[in-house]
Structure 1
Amino acid sequence: MSKKQFFLGMLLASLIGGIVALAGVNFLIQPQSANSFDEKQPISFANLLSGDEFTVPDGINFVASAETVVPAVVHVKSEMTYSARARGRRDPIQEYFGIPPREQQGDRPSVMSTGSGVIISPDGYIVTNNHVVENASRLEISLDNNKRYEAKVIGTDPTTDLALLKIEADGLPFVRFGDSDKTKIGEWVLAVGNPFDLNSTVTAGIISAKARNIGILRNVEDGLSIESFLQTDAVVNPGNSGGALVNLAGELIGINTAIASNTGTFNGYSFAVPSTLVKKVMDDLMKYGTAQRALLGVGILDVSQELAESLDIEFPVEQGVYIRSVNENSGGEDAGLKVGDIIISVDGRATNNVANLQELVARKRPGDKVDVEYIRDGKTITTNATLKNFSGTTDIVEKVIPITYEFEGVRFEEIPERVKSQLELSGGAVIAAVNGQKWRNSGARTGFIITSIINENGRVRITNVDKLLEVLKETEGDPIVVLGMFQDGTEYYFEVN
C-alpha cells in the first residue's frame, strides 16, 4: 500500500466515523417519543456538568464567600433628628414668650432611615457610611441572626463618608480586610447589604473601574474630600450604603457607598470606598477619635488634552497630575515642588489622576514621608516630602472629648465654638444623649441646642450648661417648656411635664 493510499484511507475512515457519531448524538438529543420536557430538552455540555456529580470549586463560585460574609453584615437603623420647620396655629401666649409655632398634630419629631454596616472585629466594631448615621439620635444594629444592639458612634470622617460604630458584644463574626490594591478590573465581587430593608441580600458583579471620582462629596470639609471609588456592576440599592464589597475569598475590599442613577435606584453601576483607605480611617477613629488627614499641600488637576489646550502647552505624558499651585509652608513646598510639575507616582505607585493621588496621600498621617516622582522640563525627578496636617504641622490631632453633665437621664454639654459661630449664638447647651424616657417622650433629641427655659416664673435664657442645670434643679418636678434649635438652625420647642 502506498503512502497516498494510506492517507486517503485514514481520511475516509475519519469521515465515516464523524458521520456515525453525529447520527448517534442526533438520535440522543432528538427522542422519538418525548413524554416530558426532561426528555424533550436536548442534552448539552451544561447538562453534563449538572447534578450531584459535579461541584463548582469554592474558589470560583460565590457560596463560600457569601457564607463567610453574610453573618457579619448588619442592618443599621438610624433615628434621625426631625428638623422640618414646625408649623401651627397662631397662639398669642406663644408669641408673648417667643415660642416658635408647635408642629401640627400627627407630625413626627423624628424619622427612621436604614443602611448597612460591616462588623470588623469580634468585640463589636462596625464600619458604615457617615451619611447612614449622620444626625442620628439613636442607632439600632440588627444582626443576621436577629439579635439587636444599640450602637454608639466612635467617630466619623465626612471626607471619606465613613463612620466607626461600637456595640457591646463579644465573639461576633467579622469580615477580614483584603487589599483593594490587588483587586483587578474584571475580578468577581459580591455586594452584601440590606437594600429596601431586605436583610442579608447578596448580589454579584465585577470590578469595572478603579480610582473613580464621581463628585458626590464635592462640598464636604472645604472641598478636601477623598473620592477614589471602586466601580462595580454588582446591584446596589438604597439600604446597601455601608455594606460590604468582598472578593471570592470573603475579604473586605470596599464599603458600598453610592450608585450612579437618575432614578434613585440601581442603574448599572455602584461605587465603594476601597478597603486600603477604609482600614486606615477605621484605625484612626478607633485610636484617636478622628481621622488623621495628611496633606501634600498642592493644588492639582488631571493631565488631559483639554488642560493642555487651555494652558497652551504640550504635556510629556498622557496621564499624570499637574500641579497648579503650591501652598506656603506645605510639605510640597518644602520638598521643592513647583507649579507646572507633573506628579507621576507616589511611593512607587502610579498616579494617573487626581483621585489616585489623593487616595495614596490620604492613607498616610501627618509626619509621614512619601517619595514623590515628578516630571519638570522633560526630566524625571524624585523628591521626599513630609506630609502635614491642616494647621501646617506634623502633629497628630486627637478628638477633644467634651465634658458632659447629666440630669434625669439626659446628658448635656457645651456648644462647640464652631456651631456657636455658625448659628451666631451667644450661649446655650447641647443635648448629648437622651436616655430618660420622660424627656424622650417629650421630644428631646440628641444635638438639640437649648437656648431658653420657660417655667412658672417666666422665660430664663440659658447661657451655658451650668445655668441650664441650675434652672432644671430649681424647677425639678414642675412642668417646663424647653426652647431652642436644631443644628441646621430650625427652631423648635417641647414641653417636659
Structure 2
Amino acid sequence: MLKTKAVVLVSLVWLTTLVAQASRAASLPDFTELVEDSSPAVVNISTVQATESERSSALGQFGAPDSEDIPEIFRHFFRNLPDMEPRPKRTPQSLGSGFIISEDGYVLTNNHVVQGAERVLVRLNDRRELEAEIVGTDERSDVALLKIEAEDLPVVKIGKARDLRVGEWVLAIGSPFGFDHTVTAGIVSAKERALANETYVPFIQTDVAINPGNSGGPLFNLDGEVVGINSQIYTRSGGFMGLSFAIPIDVAMDVADQLKSQGHVSRGWLGVIIQEVNRDLAESFGLDKPAGALVAKVLPDSPAQAAGLLEGDVITSFNGRSIALSSDLPHLVGRVKPGTEAKMDVIRDGERTTINVEVGLLPEDGQAVGGEPQVKPATLNRLGLKVEPLSDSYREKWNVRSGVVVSEVADGAGARAGVVAGDVITMLNGSQIESVQQFADVVDALPEDRSVPMRIVRRGSPLFIPLKLVQQ
C-alpha cells in the first residue's frame, strides 16, 4: 500500500513539473515565423574605405581592447575584423547591417557604417552583391540612406517606436562579426534614453545581444515590424554587456524621407544652452520637484531671444509634451519643422507662464553663437569670494556681456557650491550682475538657510549652481 502511494506521489510531482514547464514554454514568444518573414529584407553591408591608414586607425579605436583598464563608454559597433594590421589590398570589409524599406532598393543603415567609404556593397539574403549609392547621411541621428539598383525586393514592415512598451519582447537580425542573419532577442529596457553627445535621438534601450557587425540592423517587435535601428552599446570590453541602444524608427524614417527629398535634414532650433535641474536647483528656483530644462544661456539673434525666453527660465513642457529631463527638450524641438510656432510652459521667478516661439532652423554646425569702469577688487564677502570687474578680454574670450570675475575663493558658501577662481558670475538670485558694487549689494541681501540660483560662466560654458548661506 505504501509503495503504491509513493508511486502515485512521484507521478503527481512529475506531472506537475511537466505542466509547469509547458506553461513556461507557452508564455515565451515563438520567433520562428517572424524570422522567416523578415530575414529576406535584412542585408549585410561592406565598404571599401578611403585609405588603409584610416581603416587601421579605426580598428584600433573600435576593435579588441589593448588592456583591461578600459573605462565604460558608449560605442558604435561596426568593425568586425580581429586583427589590427593594415592589409596590402583594399578589399571590401564587412562592417554592418541594414534593411530594405522599398521594393525598388532603398536601404537604411547607420551613418557610421558607411562614413568615409569609397564604395558600398550590399549583400542580399539570396547572396547577390550589389553596389549601393549613398543617397544621403545624417551624422546627428547616425542614419544613412542607400539605394541599390534592383526591383521587387523583399521589404520590412515599418512600425511605430512610440507604441513600444517597456518590458515587451524585441528581436534583432544582423551580422555580428560577419555572421549573416544572426538572430538575438530580449526586451525593451527603457525608452527615450539620452546618450552623451547624442542630442537629437531619444534612444530605445534593450538587453538584446548586440555586437560588432549589428550596426544598422533592424530591431523588430513581435508583430514583425521594425521599431528601431541598432546603433550603439554601452561596454567596458567592446562587446555585449546587456545595454544596447536603437534609433527609433520614427526618427529614422523622418530622416530618410528628408534625405530622399532634399538631400539633407532640417531640424528645429531654439537657440538655448540648457542644463539639468537637480534637487538643490529645484529648491533654489522654487520648484516642487527637480524637473524641466533650465535655460543657462539664450543665444543672441535666436528664436528663443525673439520669443522673450530668459536665462534662469525653466522649460517644463514643449508643445504639450512634459520635460522631465533637460535631455528631453532637444529631440522634441529638433523634430519640429523650422518656421512652425510652438508653445512652451515656463517657470520664471516661481510663476508659470506660456511662451510662444517660432522654431528656427538648426545651423549646420549645431552652434550659433564698451568696458566696465575699473573698480578695485572687492574684499572677501559673505560667500567667501573676492571678485573683480569683467575685463574686455574676458568679455571677448568667453562671450559674456556682463558679470564679475571670481579672483579668490575661501571657505564659505561659494566654495561649497563649487565656485572656483576664474568663474564669471553673471546672475545671482534672479538679479543680473552688472558690477562689483551691485554684486556686493545682492550678496548682502541674500537669505540664509535657503538655496538660491547662481549663474556662472566657466571657460565659456554657462552653468546654474545652487548656493546656500548657512546661518551662523
> 1:238-273: CA deviations, max 9, x gaps?
000001112111222111101111111101110111
**Distance in 2 between residues matched to 1:391 and 1:44, nearest whole Å:** 63
**Distance in 1 between residues matched to 2:160 and 2:42, nearest whole Å:** 19
Structure 1, unaligned runs of 5 or more:
1-18, 31-39, 87-103, 219-224, 393-497
**2:40 corresponding residue in structure 1:** 71
**Distance in 2 between residues matched to 1:203 and 1:22, nearest whole Å:** 46
1:374 lines up with 2:346 in the alignment: yes
Which of 125, 135, 140 lines up with 2:106 in the alignment? 125
Which of 302, 306, 309 lines up with 1:330 in the alignment? 302
**Distance in 2 between residues matched to 1:85 and 1:269, nearest whole Å:** 28
> Structure 1 residues 354 and 191, CA, compared in 2 at 3 Å: closer, same or farther?
farther
**Distance in 1 between residues matched to 2:27 and 2:150, nearest whole Å:** 36
1:355 lines up with 2:336 in the alignment: no
**1:341 corresponding residue in structure 2:** 313
Deviation at 1:135, TM superposition (A): 0.6
Q: Report SS of the residue matched to 1:75.
A: strand
1:191 lines up with 2:165 in the alignment: no
Which of 252, 264, 276 lines up with 1:278 in the alignment? 252
**1:253 corresponding residue in structure 2:** 227
Q: In the alignment, is the contact (CA less than 8 A) between 2:217 and 2:229 conserved in 1?
A: yes
Q: In the alignment, is the contact (CA less than 8 A) between 1:177 and 1:253 conserved in 2?
A: yes
Deviation at 1:384, TM superposition (A): 2.6
Which of 102, 106, 122 lines up with 1:141 in the alignment? 122
Aligned counterparts, 1:176-187, within 5 A: 176-187=157-168
**Distance in 2 between residues matched to 1:22 and 1:349, nearest whole Å:** 65
1:244 lines up with 2:218 in the alignment: yes
**2:191 corresponding residue in structure 1:** 210
RMSD after superposition: 3.1
> Structure 1 residues 111 and 65, CA, compared in 2 at 3 Å: closer, same or farther?
closer
Counterpart amino acid of residue 324 in structure 1: A
> Structure 1 residues 359 and 108, CA, compared in 2 at 3 Å: closer, same or farther?
same
Deviation at 1:166, TM superposition (A): 0.6
Deviation at 1:140, TM superposition (A): 0.7
> Structure 1 residues 136 and 339, CA, compared in 2 at 3 Å: closer, same or farther?
same
Deviation at 1:129, TM superposition (A): 0.6
Identity percentage of aligned residues: 38
**Distance in 1 between residues matched to 2:86 and 2:42, nearest whole Å:** 38
Counterpart amino acid of residue 112 in structure 2: H
Q: In the alignment, is the contact (CA less than 8 A) between 1:276 and 1:363 conserved in 2?
A: no
**Distance in 1 between residues matched to 2:53 and 2:207, nearest whole Å:** 36
**Distance in 2 between residues matched to 1:232 and 1:341, nearest whole Å:** 34
**Distance in 2 between residues matched to 1:111 and 1:306, nearest whole Å:** 54
**Distance in 1 between residues matched to 2:91 and 2:131, nearest whole Å:** 17
Deviation at 1:227, TM superposition (A): 3.9
Q: In the alignment, is the contact (CA less than 8 A) between 2:286 and 2:350 conserved in 1?
A: no
**1:28 corresponding residue in structure 2:** 11
> Structure 1 residues 290 and 48, CA, compared in 2 at 3 Å: closer, same or farther?
closer
Q: In the alignment, is the contact (CA less than 8 A) between 1:113 and 1:132 conserved in 2?
A: no
> Structure 1 residues 348 and 47, CA, compared in 2 at 3 Å: closer, same or farther?
same
Q: In the alignment, is the contact (CA less than 8 A) between 1:140 and 1:149 conserved in 2?
A: yes
Counterpart amino acid of residue 28 in structure 1: S
Q: In the alignment, is the contact (CA less than 8 A) between 1:331 and 1:386 conserved in 2?
A: yes
Counterpart amino acid of residue 225 in structure 2: E
Q: Report SS of the residue matched to 1:287.
A: helix
Deviation at 1:159, TM superposition (A): 0.8
**Distance in 2 between residues matched to 1:242 and 1:64, nearest whole Å:** 22
Deviation at 1:105, TM superposition (A): 11
Aligned residues: 333
Point out the structure with the larger strand share: 2
Aligned counterparts, 1:436-447, within 5 A: none
**Distance in 2 between residues matched to 1:201 and 1:117, nearest whole Å:** 13
> Structure 1 residues 300 and 244, CA, compared in 2 at 3 Å: closer, same or farther?
same
Counterpart amino acid of residue 387 in structure 1: V
**Distance in 2 between residues matched to 1:106 and 1:247, nearest whole Å:** 40
> 1:360-415: CA deviations, max 9, x gaps?
122223222322222223333233322112459xxxxxxxxxxxxxxxxxxxxxxx
Structure 2, unaligned runs of 5 or more:
56-84, 365-472
> Structure 1 residues 307 and 246, CA, compared in 2 at 3 Å: closer, same or farther?
farther
Q: In the alignment, is the contact (CA less than 8 A) between 1:197 and 1:239 conserved in 2?
A: yes
**Distance in 2 between residues matched to 1:253 and 1:79, nearest whole Å:** 29
Deviation at 1:112, TM superposition (A): 2.3
Q: In the alignment, is the contact (CA less than 8 A) between 1:188 and 1:204 conserved in 2?
A: yes
**Distance in 1 between residues matched to 2:145 and 2:15, nearest whole Å:** 54
Deviation at 1:301, TM superposition (A): 1.2
Counterpart amino acid of residue 146 in structure 1: R
> Structure 1 residues 70 and 323, CA, compared in 2 at 3 Å: closer, same or farther?
same
